[in-house]
Protein backbone atom coordinates (compact mmCIF):
# COMPACT_ATOMS: atom_id res chain seq x y z
CA UNK A 1 0.00 0.00 0.00
CA UNK A 2 1.24 3.47 -0.85
CA UNK A 3 1.88 5.66 2.17
CA UNK A 4 1.68 9.43 2.44
CA UNK A 5 5.52 9.39 2.65
CA UNK A 6 5.84 7.60 -0.68
CA UNK A 7 3.06 9.51 -2.49
CA UNK A 8 3.58 12.98 -1.02
CA UNK A 9 7.02 13.19 0.62
CA UNK A 10 6.99 17.00 0.94
CA UNK A 11 3.54 16.99 2.50
CA UNK A 12 4.51 14.20 4.90
CA UNK A 13 7.42 16.38 6.10
CA UNK A 14 5.17 19.38 6.66
CA UNK A 15 2.78 17.20 8.65
CA UNK A 16 5.64 15.84 10.75
CA UNK A 17 6.73 19.35 11.63
CA UNK A 18 3.30 20.27 13.03
CA UNK A 19 1.57 19.57 16.32
CA UNK A 20 -1.69 20.43 18.06
CA UNK A 21 -4.50 22.17 16.21
CA UNK A 22 -2.41 22.91 13.11
CA UNK A 23 -1.59 19.21 12.76
CA UNK A 24 -5.23 18.19 13.24
CA UNK A 25 -6.38 20.67 10.60
CA UNK A 26 -3.87 19.41 8.03
CA UNK A 27 -4.72 15.79 8.86
CA UNK A 28 -8.37 16.60 8.23
CA UNK A 29 -7.52 18.09 4.82
CA UNK A 30 -5.43 15.04 3.93
CA UNK A 31 -8.26 12.66 4.79
CA UNK A 32 -10.48 14.28 2.15
CA UNK A 33 -8.01 13.47 -0.64
CA UNK A 34 -7.18 10.34 -2.59
CA UNK A 35 -3.47 10.84 -3.31
CA UNK A 36 -3.22 7.57 -5.21
CA UNK A 37 -5.81 8.79 -7.66
CA UNK A 38 -4.12 12.20 -7.89
CA UNK A 39 -0.76 10.58 -8.66
CA UNK A 40 -2.38 8.55 -11.43
CA UNK A 41 -4.09 11.64 -12.85
CA UNK A 42 -0.80 13.52 -13.05
CA UNK A 43 0.83 10.54 -14.77
CA UNK A 44 -2.02 10.18 -17.24
CA UNK A 45 -2.27 13.86 -18.07
CA UNK A 46 1.50 14.34 -18.36
CA UNK A 47 1.59 11.62 -21.01
CA UNK A 48 -1.51 12.77 -22.91
CA UNK A 49 -1.00 14.72 -26.10
CA UNK A 50 -4.01 17.01 -26.48
CA UNK A 51 -5.55 16.47 -29.90
CA UNK A 52 -8.69 18.56 -29.42
CA UNK A 53 -12.06 17.47 -30.70
CA UNK A 54 -12.25 16.61 -34.33
CA UNK A 55 -8.92 14.76 -34.63
CA UNK A 56 -9.82 11.09 -34.77
CA UNK A 57 -13.39 11.59 -33.62
CA UNK A 58 -16.50 11.84 -35.70
CA UNK A 59 -18.22 15.09 -34.67
CA UNK A 60 -21.75 15.79 -35.84
CA UNK A 61 -23.86 18.81 -34.83
CA UNK A 62 -26.81 18.12 -32.52
CA UNK A 63 -30.13 19.60 -33.66
CA UNK A 64 -32.20 21.64 -31.18
CA UNK A 65 -35.81 21.93 -32.32
CA UNK A 66 -37.31 25.23 -31.31
CA UNK A 67 -39.78 24.96 -28.46
CA UNK A 68 -41.43 28.37 -29.08
CA UNK A 69 -42.95 27.16 -32.36
CA UNK A 70 -43.80 23.63 -31.23
CA UNK A 71 -47.53 22.89 -31.31
CA UNK A 72 -47.18 20.86 -28.11
CA UNK A 73 -46.00 23.88 -26.12
CA UNK A 74 -49.31 24.55 -24.38
CA UNK A 75 -49.66 20.91 -23.43
CA UNK A 76 -46.11 20.92 -22.01
CA UNK A 77 -46.87 24.01 -19.96
CA UNK A 78 -50.03 22.45 -18.57
CA UNK A 79 -48.13 19.27 -17.65
CA UNK A 80 -45.34 21.30 -16.03
CA UNK A 81 -47.82 23.25 -13.91
CA UNK A 82 -49.47 20.02 -12.76
CA UNK A 83 -46.03 18.65 -11.76
CA UNK A 84 -45.36 21.82 -9.78
CA UNK A 85 -48.74 21.57 -8.06
CA UNK A 86 -48.09 17.94 -7.16
CA UNK A 87 -44.72 18.83 -5.65
CA UNK A 88 -42.79 16.72 -8.15
CA UNK A 89 -40.31 19.43 -9.17
CA UNK A 90 -37.20 20.83 -7.49
CA UNK A 91 -34.67 23.49 -8.46
CA UNK A 92 -30.93 22.85 -8.24
CA UNK A 93 -28.56 25.80 -8.64
CA UNK A 94 -24.82 25.35 -9.13
CA UNK A 95 -23.04 27.97 -7.15
CA UNK A 96 -19.73 26.42 -6.25
CA UNK A 97 -17.64 28.23 -8.88
CA UNK A 98 -15.05 30.84 -8.03
CA UNK A 99 -16.29 33.45 -10.51
CA UNK A 100 -12.71 34.52 -11.14
CA UNK A 101 -13.46 36.34 -14.42
CA UNK A 102 -16.06 38.60 -12.78
CA UNK A 103 -13.65 39.42 -9.98
CA UNK A 104 -16.40 39.84 -7.36
CA UNK A 105 -15.38 39.06 -3.78
CA UNK A 106 -18.17 36.82 -2.60
CA UNK A 107 -20.57 34.23 -4.00
CA UNK A 108 -21.59 35.09 -7.55
CA UNK A 109 -25.27 34.66 -6.69
CA UNK A 110 -24.99 37.58 -4.24
CA UNK A 111 -23.81 39.83 -7.06
CA UNK A 112 -26.14 42.69 -8.03
CA UNK A 113 -26.16 43.49 -11.73
CA UNK A 114 -27.31 47.08 -11.15
CA UNK A 115 -31.07 46.75 -11.69
CA UNK A 116 -33.26 49.50 -10.20
CA UNK A 117 -34.70 46.98 -7.71
CA UNK A 118 -31.16 46.23 -6.47
CA UNK A 119 -31.82 42.48 -6.69
CA UNK A 120 -28.93 40.03 -6.66
CA UNK A 121 -28.74 37.04 -9.02
CA UNK A 122 -30.08 34.85 -6.18
CA UNK A 123 -32.80 37.45 -5.58
CA UNK A 124 -33.92 37.29 -9.22
CA UNK A 125 -34.17 33.49 -9.06
CA UNK A 126 -35.90 33.54 -5.69
CA UNK A 127 -38.61 35.93 -6.89
CA UNK A 128 -39.34 33.79 -9.93
CA UNK A 129 -39.60 30.74 -7.70
CA UNK A 130 -41.90 32.65 -5.38
CA UNK A 131 -44.18 33.37 -8.29
CA UNK A 132 -44.29 29.65 -9.22
CA UNK A 133 -44.80 28.72 -5.56
CA UNK A 134 -47.86 30.96 -5.42
CA UNK A 135 -49.35 29.31 -8.51
CA UNK A 136 -48.51 25.81 -7.28
CA UNK A 137 -49.73 26.65 -3.77
CA UNK A 138 -46.69 24.96 -2.28
CA UNK A 139 -42.97 25.71 -1.91
CA UNK A 140 -40.69 24.27 -4.58
CA UNK A 141 -37.60 22.72 -2.94
CA UNK A 142 -34.46 24.63 -3.91
CA UNK A 143 -31.04 22.94 -3.63
CA UNK A 144 -28.04 25.24 -3.76
CA UNK A 145 -24.60 23.75 -4.23
CA UNK A 146 -21.86 25.92 -2.77
CA UNK A 147 -18.17 25.24 -2.17
CA UNK A 148 -16.22 25.45 1.08
CA UNK A 149 -14.91 28.77 -0.26
CA UNK A 150 -18.33 30.45 -0.39
CA UNK A 151 -20.71 28.33 1.72
CA UNK A 152 -21.02 30.61 4.73
CA UNK A 153 -21.27 33.81 2.66
CA UNK A 154 -24.00 32.24 0.52
CA UNK A 155 -26.13 31.40 3.54
CA UNK A 156 -25.41 34.83 5.01
CA UNK A 157 -26.73 36.45 1.81
CA UNK A 158 -29.98 34.52 2.16
CA UNK A 159 -30.23 35.36 5.86
CA UNK A 160 -29.65 39.07 5.22
CA UNK A 161 -32.48 38.95 2.69
CA UNK A 162 -34.79 36.91 4.94
CA UNK A 163 -34.61 34.08 2.40
CA UNK A 164 -36.34 36.41 -0.06
CA UNK A 165 -39.65 35.54 1.56
CA UNK A 166 -39.31 31.87 0.61
CA UNK A 167 -39.98 29.00 3.00
CA UNK A 168 -36.62 28.54 4.75
CA UNK A 169 -37.14 24.80 5.24
CA UNK A 170 -37.53 24.23 1.50
CA UNK A 171 -34.04 25.55 0.74
CA UNK A 172 -31.07 23.29 1.22
CA UNK A 173 -27.45 24.43 0.92
CA UNK A 174 -24.68 21.88 0.58
CA UNK A 175 -21.00 22.01 -0.28
CA UNK A 176 -19.41 20.39 -3.28
CA UNK A 177 -16.22 18.35 -3.00
CA UNK A 178 -12.74 19.76 -3.29
CA UNK A 179 -9.55 18.52 -4.87
CA UNK A 180 -6.00 19.43 -3.99
CA UNK A 181 -4.03 21.64 -6.37
CA UNK A 182 -0.68 20.02 -7.19
CA UNK A 183 2.69 21.48 -8.09
CA UNK A 184 4.10 20.62 -11.53
CA UNK A 185 5.98 17.71 -9.90
CA UNK A 186 2.76 16.28 -8.43
CA UNK A 187 3.42 17.40 -4.83
CA UNK A 188 0.44 18.96 -3.04
CA UNK A 189 0.33 22.76 -2.83
CA UNK A 190 0.42 23.70 0.85
CA UNK A 191 -0.49 27.21 1.97
CA UNK A 192 -0.17 28.26 5.62
CA UNK A 193 0.11 24.62 6.63
CA UNK A 194 -3.20 23.77 4.94
CA UNK A 195 -3.77 21.91 1.67
CA UNK A 196 -4.74 24.16 -1.23
CA UNK A 197 -8.17 22.67 -1.89
CA UNK A 198 -10.22 23.91 -4.84
CA UNK A 199 -13.78 23.00 -5.99
CA UNK A 200 -13.83 19.77 -8.00
CA UNK A 201 -15.77 21.20 -10.97
CA UNK A 202 -19.47 21.41 -11.78
CA UNK A 203 -19.42 17.67 -12.55
CA UNK A 204 -18.99 17.16 -8.80
CA UNK A 205 -22.66 18.15 -8.41
CA UNK A 206 -24.00 14.60 -8.76
CA UNK A 207 -21.72 13.19 -6.06
CA UNK A 208 -22.32 16.15 -3.75
CA UNK A 209 -26.10 15.97 -4.19
CA UNK A 210 -26.10 12.36 -3.03
CA UNK A 211 -23.36 12.53 -0.38
CA UNK A 212 -24.93 15.55 1.31
CA UNK A 213 -28.20 13.66 1.71
CA UNK A 214 -29.96 16.15 -0.55
CA UNK A 215 -30.91 13.56 -3.15
CA UNK A 216 -32.57 11.43 -0.44
CA UNK A 217 -34.29 14.58 0.88
CA UNK A 218 -35.74 15.21 -2.59
CA UNK A 219 -36.83 11.61 -3.06
CA UNK A 220 -38.55 11.60 0.34
CA UNK A 221 -40.48 14.69 -0.67
CA UNK A 222 -41.73 12.96 -3.82
CA UNK A 223 -39.66 14.96 -6.31
CA UNK A 224 -39.39 13.32 -9.74
CA UNK A 225 -37.92 16.09 -11.91
CA UNK A 226 -35.01 18.39 -11.16
CA UNK A 227 -34.36 21.67 -12.95
CA UNK A 228 -30.66 22.52 -12.83
CA UNK A 229 -29.12 25.89 -13.65
CA UNK A 230 -25.91 27.88 -13.44
CA UNK A 231 -26.01 30.65 -10.85
CA UNK A 232 -24.99 33.44 -13.20
CA UNK A 233 -27.78 33.68 -15.78
CA UNK A 234 -29.84 36.81 -15.09
CA UNK A 235 -32.68 35.65 -17.35
CA UNK A 236 -33.02 32.04 -16.22
CA UNK A 237 -36.61 30.83 -16.13
CA UNK A 238 -36.02 28.73 -13.06
CA UNK A 239 -38.23 25.60 -12.98
CA UNK A 240 -39.73 26.56 -16.35
CA UNK A 241 -42.98 24.56 -16.49
CA UNK A 242 -42.81 24.28 -20.30
CA UNK A 243 -39.33 22.75 -20.22
CA UNK A 244 -40.20 20.35 -17.40
CA UNK A 245 -43.51 19.38 -19.00
CA UNK A 246 -41.74 18.58 -22.27
CA UNK A 247 -39.38 16.21 -20.43
CA UNK A 248 -42.19 14.55 -18.48
CA UNK A 249 -44.21 14.00 -21.66
CA UNK A 250 -41.37 12.19 -23.41
CA UNK A 251 -40.65 8.90 -21.60
CA UNK A 252 -37.62 8.23 -23.83
CA UNK A 253 -35.77 11.28 -22.46
CA UNK A 254 -33.82 11.16 -19.20
CA UNK A 255 -31.97 14.46 -19.42
CA UNK A 256 -32.98 17.50 -21.41
CA UNK A 257 -30.86 20.58 -22.11
CA UNK A 258 -31.95 24.07 -23.10
CA UNK A 259 -30.01 25.26 -26.12
CA UNK A 260 -29.72 28.65 -27.81
CA UNK A 261 -27.99 29.66 -31.04
CA UNK A 262 -24.44 30.90 -30.70
CA UNK A 263 -24.06 34.68 -30.82
CA UNK A 264 -21.36 34.24 -33.47
CA UNK A 265 -18.54 31.84 -34.27
CA UNK A 266 -16.23 33.48 -31.75
CA UNK A 267 -18.52 33.22 -28.71
CA UNK A 268 -16.61 31.30 -26.04
CA UNK A 269 -19.26 28.76 -25.23
CA UNK A 270 -19.48 24.96 -25.43
CA UNK A 271 -21.40 23.40 -28.32
CA UNK A 272 -23.77 20.43 -28.25
CA UNK A 273 -22.70 17.72 -30.68
CA UNK A 274 -22.57 13.98 -31.16
CA UNK A 275 -19.06 12.66 -30.71
CA UNK A 276 -18.75 9.18 -32.22
CA UNK A 277 -22.54 8.93 -31.97
CA UNK A 278 -22.79 10.00 -28.32
CA UNK A 279 -24.19 13.30 -26.99
CA UNK A 280 -21.59 15.68 -25.63
CA UNK A 281 -20.56 19.28 -25.29
CA UNK A 282 -17.41 20.40 -27.06
CA UNK A 283 -15.66 23.19 -25.28
CA UNK A 284 -14.77 26.28 -27.28
CA UNK A 285 -11.05 25.74 -26.71
CA UNK A 286 -11.27 22.10 -27.87
CA UNK A 287 -12.98 22.85 -31.16
CA UNK A 288 -10.87 23.00 -34.29
CA UNK A 289 -11.16 26.34 -36.17
CA UNK A 290 -12.64 24.74 -39.30
CA UNK A 291 -15.47 23.15 -37.31
CA UNK A 292 -16.07 26.29 -35.27
CA UNK A 293 -16.44 28.47 -38.38
CA UNK A 294 -18.18 25.92 -40.63
CA UNK A 295 -21.32 27.34 -42.32
CA UNK A 296 -24.15 25.68 -44.23
CA UNK A 297 -25.49 26.76 -47.64
CA UNK A 298 -27.65 29.43 -46.01
CA UNK A 299 -24.60 30.92 -44.33
CA UNK A 300 -25.58 29.72 -40.83
CA UNK A 301 -23.11 28.20 -38.40
CA UNK A 302 -23.25 24.40 -38.53
CA UNK A 303 -22.10 23.94 -34.91
CA UNK A 304 -24.56 26.42 -33.47
CA UNK A 305 -26.13 24.87 -30.35
CA UNK A 306 -24.73 26.68 -27.30
CA UNK A 307 -24.64 25.00 -23.89
CA UNK A 308 -26.20 27.49 -21.47
CA UNK A 309 -26.08 25.43 -18.28
CA UNK A 310 -29.82 24.72 -18.04
CA UNK A 311 -30.91 21.10 -17.78
CA UNK A 312 -33.81 19.00 -16.53
CA UNK A 313 -33.23 15.53 -15.08
CA UNK A 314 -35.44 12.67 -14.11
CA UNK A 315 -34.58 11.88 -10.49
CA UNK A 316 -33.59 8.25 -11.23
CA UNK A 317 -30.86 9.52 -13.52
CA UNK A 318 -29.44 11.73 -10.80
CA UNK A 319 -29.22 8.69 -8.58
CA UNK A 320 -27.30 6.79 -11.28
CA UNK A 321 -24.99 9.71 -12.01
CA UNK A 322 -24.08 10.12 -8.37
CA UNK A 323 -22.22 6.82 -8.70
CA UNK A 324 -20.94 7.16 -12.27
CA UNK A 325 -17.23 7.93 -12.56
CA UNK A 326 -16.74 11.01 -14.71
CA UNK A 327 -13.37 11.79 -16.31
CA UNK A 328 -11.06 14.39 -14.77
CA UNK A 329 -9.91 17.32 -16.88
CA UNK A 330 -6.61 19.03 -16.14
CA UNK A 331 -5.88 22.74 -16.24
CA UNK A 332 -2.43 24.27 -15.63
CA UNK A 333 -2.77 27.40 -13.51
CA UNK A 334 -0.67 29.60 -11.23
CA UNK A 335 -1.54 28.68 -7.64
CA UNK A 336 0.02 30.44 -4.64
CA UNK A 337 2.56 31.99 -6.99
CA UNK A 338 3.65 28.61 -8.38
CA UNK A 339 3.30 28.43 -12.16
CA UNK A 340 1.80 25.50 -14.07
CA UNK A 341 0.18 23.81 -11.11
CA UNK A 342 -2.28 21.01 -11.79
CA UNK A 343 -5.95 21.73 -11.13
CA UNK A 344 -8.27 18.85 -11.87
CA UNK A 345 -12.01 19.16 -12.34
CA UNK A 346 -15.00 17.23 -13.59
CA UNK A 347 -17.53 18.57 -16.08
CA UNK A 348 -21.24 18.03 -15.75
CA UNK A 349 -21.69 17.49 -19.49
CA UNK A 350 -19.48 14.38 -19.47
CA UNK A 351 -22.47 12.69 -17.84
CA UNK A 352 -24.57 13.05 -20.98
CA UNK A 353 -22.91 10.26 -22.93
CA UNK A 354 -23.38 7.83 -20.05
CA UNK A 355 -27.20 7.90 -20.15
CA UNK A 356 -29.73 6.72 -22.68
CA UNK A 357 -32.20 9.36 -23.77
CA UNK A 358 -30.71 12.84 -24.09
CA UNK A 359 -32.93 15.58 -25.53
CA UNK A 360 -32.54 19.22 -26.53
CA UNK A 361 -35.03 22.06 -26.12
CA UNK A 362 -34.37 25.09 -28.33
CA UNK A 363 -34.92 28.51 -26.76
CA UNK A 364 -34.27 32.15 -27.65
CA UNK A 365 -31.20 33.76 -26.14
CA UNK A 366 -32.97 37.14 -25.72
CA UNK A 367 -35.63 35.44 -23.58
CA UNK A 368 -33.56 33.14 -21.42
CA UNK A 369 -29.81 33.57 -21.49
CA UNK A 370 -27.73 36.45 -20.22
CA UNK A 371 -24.77 35.12 -18.24
CA UNK A 372 -22.68 37.33 -15.99
CA UNK A 373 -19.14 36.09 -16.59
CA UNK A 374 -16.95 39.15 -17.15
CA UNK A 375 -16.58 42.51 -15.43
CA UNK A 376 -17.07 44.40 -18.77
CA UNK A 377 -18.08 43.83 -22.37
CA UNK A 378 -19.97 40.73 -23.44
CA UNK A 379 -21.64 38.66 -20.73
CA UNK A 380 -21.13 41.35 -18.10
CA UNK A 381 -23.40 42.98 -15.50
CA UNK A 382 -24.11 45.79 -18.01
CA UNK A 383 -25.09 43.43 -20.84
CA UNK A 384 -27.29 41.37 -18.47
CA UNK A 385 -29.01 44.49 -17.11
CA UNK A 386 -29.70 45.74 -20.64
CA UNK A 387 -30.95 42.37 -21.90
CA UNK A 388 -33.36 42.07 -18.98
CA UNK A 389 -34.53 45.67 -19.49
CA UNK A 390 -35.12 45.11 -23.23
CA UNK A 391 -36.91 41.81 -22.67
CA UNK A 392 -39.28 43.32 -20.13
CA UNK A 393 -39.88 46.31 -22.43
CA UNK A 394 -40.89 43.83 -25.16
CA UNK A 395 -43.25 42.08 -22.77
CA UNK A 396 -45.01 45.43 -22.18
CA UNK A 397 -45.19 46.25 -25.90
CA UNK A 398 -46.56 42.76 -26.64
CA UNK A 399 -49.21 43.36 -23.95
CA UNK A 400 -50.34 46.49 -25.83
CA UNK A 401 -48.65 49.12 -23.65
CA UNK A 402 -47.78 52.24 -25.67
CA UNK A 403 -44.25 53.23 -24.73
CA UNK A 404 -42.50 56.34 -25.96
CA UNK A 405 -38.77 56.88 -25.69
CA UNK A 406 -36.20 54.18 -25.24
CA UNK A 407 -36.48 53.39 -21.53
CA UNK A 408 -35.85 49.89 -20.27
CA UNK A 409 -38.04 48.21 -17.65
CA UNK A 410 -37.70 45.76 -14.81
CA UNK A 411 -40.92 43.88 -14.07
CA UNK A 412 -41.16 42.04 -10.79
CA UNK A 413 -41.93 38.32 -11.14
CA UNK A 414 -44.83 38.91 -8.75
CA UNK A 415 -46.52 40.41 -11.83
CA UNK A 416 -45.18 38.17 -14.58
CA UNK A 417 -42.92 35.12 -14.85
CA UNK A 418 -42.40 35.10 -18.62
CA UNK A 419 -44.38 38.02 -20.03
CA UNK A 420 -47.88 36.77 -19.25
CA UNK A 421 -50.62 38.70 -17.44
CA UNK A 422 -49.55 42.26 -18.37
CA UNK A 423 -51.73 45.07 -19.72
CA UNK A 424 -51.82 48.87 -20.03
CA UNK A 425 -53.92 49.03 -16.88
CA UNK A 426 -51.40 47.02 -14.90
CA UNK A 427 -48.59 49.15 -16.33
CA UNK A 428 -50.25 52.36 -15.13
CA UNK A 429 -51.00 50.90 -11.73
CA UNK A 430 -47.59 49.32 -11.15
CA UNK A 431 -45.13 51.81 -12.69
CA UNK A 432 -42.78 52.88 -9.92
CA UNK A 433 -43.85 49.91 -7.77
CA UNK A 434 -43.51 46.49 -9.37
CA UNK A 435 -42.51 47.93 -12.74
CA UNK A 436 -39.38 50.08 -12.64
CA UNK A 437 -38.09 52.22 -15.48
CA UNK A 438 -34.40 52.71 -16.16
CA UNK A 439 -31.96 53.86 -18.82
CA UNK A 440 -29.35 51.72 -20.59
P1 LIG B 1 -18.11 28.68 -14.83
O2 LIG B 1 -17.45 27.65 -15.65
O3 LIG B 1 -18.62 29.86 -15.55
O4 LIG B 1 -17.13 29.10 -13.68
O5 LIG B 1 -19.27 27.97 -14.01
P6 LIG B 1 -17.23 30.23 -12.59
O7 LIG B 1 -16.49 29.72 -11.42
O8 LIG B 1 -18.61 30.69 -12.31
O9 LIG B 1 -16.46 31.45 -13.22
P10 LIG B 1 -14.91 31.59 -13.65
O11 LIG B 1 -14.69 30.60 -14.76
O12 LIG B 1 -14.05 31.32 -12.44
O13 LIG B 1 -14.83 33.01 -14.11
C14 LIG B 1 -20.49 27.57 -14.55
C15 LIG B 1 -21.39 27.19 -13.38
O16 LIG B 1 -20.84 26.07 -12.69
C17 LIG B 1 -20.69 26.37 -11.32
C18 LIG B 1 -20.58 27.89 -11.25
O19 LIG B 1 -20.93 28.37 -9.96
C20 LIG B 1 -21.55 28.30 -12.33
O21 LIG B 1 -22.88 28.28 -11.87
N22 LIG B 1 -19.51 25.66 -10.80
C23 LIG B 1 -18.33 25.73 -11.45
C24 LIG B 1 -19.64 24.95 -9.65
O25 LIG B 1 -20.74 24.90 -9.04
N26 LIG B 1 -18.55 24.30 -9.17
C27 LIG B 1 -17.35 24.32 -9.78
O28 LIG B 1 -16.40 23.70 -9.29
C29 LIG B 1 -17.23 25.06 -10.96
DSSP, residue by residue, 251-305: TT-SEEEEEEE-SSTT----EEEEETTEEEEE-GGGB-HHHHH-B-TTS-BSS-E
Q: Which atom of ligand 1 is nearest to the CA of 101?
A: 13
Looking at residue 51, what is its pLDDT?
52
Looking at residue 255, what is its pLDDT?
98
Contact 128, 88 (CB under 8 A): no
pLDDT tens digit string along 103-123?
999 999 999 999 999 999 999
- Domains of the chain are 32-373 (3.90.550.10), 384-440 (no CATH)
* CA 11 – ligand 1 centroid, Å: 29
C-alpha to C-alpha distance for 268 and 137, rounded to whole angstroms: 40
- The band of 289, judged by pLDDT with boundaries at 50, 70 and 90, is very high
Given a cut of 70, whether residue 55 has pLDDT beyond it is no
Given a cut of 70, whether residue 162 has pLDDT beyond it is yes
Sign of the alpha-carbon torsion through 409, 415, 419, 425: negative
pLDDT tens digit string along 330-350?
999 999 999 999 999 999 999
- The band of 53, judged by pLDDT with boundaries at 50, 70 and 90, is low
* CA 82 – ligand 1 centroid, Å: 32
Looking at residue 109, what is its pLDDT?
98
* CA 227 – ligand 1 centroid, Å: 17
- The band of 407, judged by pLDDT with boundaries at 50, 70 and 90, is very high
What is the residue with the minimal CA distance to atom 16 of ligand 1? 202
Given a cut of 70, whether residue 258 has pLDDT beyond it is yes
Q: What is the mean pLDDT of residues 204-215?
A: 98
* CA 310 – ligand 1 centroid, Å: 13
Given a cut of 90, whether residue 1 has pLDDT beyond it is no
What is the residue with the minimal CA distance to atom 1 of ligand 1? 97
What is the residue with the minimal CA distance to atom 22 of ligand 1? 97
Looking at residue 88, what is its pLDDT?
98
Residue from 97, 105, 267 to probe ligand 1 pocket by mutation (most atoms less than 8 Å from CB): 97
* CA 92 – ligand 1 centroid, Å: 14
Looking at residue 47, what is its pLDDT?
83
- The band of 56, judged by pLDDT with boundaries at 50, 70 and 90, is confident
Looking at residue 387, what is its pLDDT?
98
Q: What is the mean pLDDT of residues 118-144?
A: 98
Q: Which atom of ligand 1 is nearest to the CA of 200?
A: 28
Sign of the alpha-carbon torsion through 36, 42, 47, 53: positive
Q: Sort 6 into a burial class: Cβ within 10 Å, 0-12 / 13-18 / 19+.
A: exposed
Looking at residue 343, what is its pLDDT?
96
Looking at residue 182, what is its pLDDT?
97
DSSP, residue by residue, 373-435: -SSSSTTSHHHHHHHHHHHHHHHHHHTT----S--EEEE-TTT-SSSTT--HHHHHHHBTTTE
Report CA 101 to chain centroid distance, whole Å. Answer: 15
Given a cut of 90, whether residue 21 has pLDDT beyond it is yes
Q: Which atom of ligand 1 is nearest to the CA of 232?
A: 21
Query: How large a percentage of the chain has pLDDT more than 90?
Result: 95
Average pLDDT, the chain: 96
* Whole-prediction pTM: 0.96
Tell me which residues have their CB closer than 6 angstroms to ligand 1. Answer: 94-101, 108, 145, 176, 199, 201-202, 230-232, 309, 373
Given a cut of 80, whether residue 2 has pLDDT beyond it is no
Amino acid sequence: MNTLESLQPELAKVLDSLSGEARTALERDIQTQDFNMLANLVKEHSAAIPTGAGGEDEIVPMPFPHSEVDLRREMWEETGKILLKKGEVAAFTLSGGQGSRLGFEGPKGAFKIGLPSGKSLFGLMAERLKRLNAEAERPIPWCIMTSPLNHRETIAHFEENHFFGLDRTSIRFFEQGTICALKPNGEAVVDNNRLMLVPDGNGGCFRALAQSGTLAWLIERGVRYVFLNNVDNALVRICDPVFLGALANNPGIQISAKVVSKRDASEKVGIFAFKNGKPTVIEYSDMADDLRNMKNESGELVFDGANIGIYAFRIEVLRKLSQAPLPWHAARKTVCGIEKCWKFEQFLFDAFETVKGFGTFGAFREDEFSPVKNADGNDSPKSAREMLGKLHRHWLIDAGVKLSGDSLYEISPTLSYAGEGLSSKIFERELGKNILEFKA
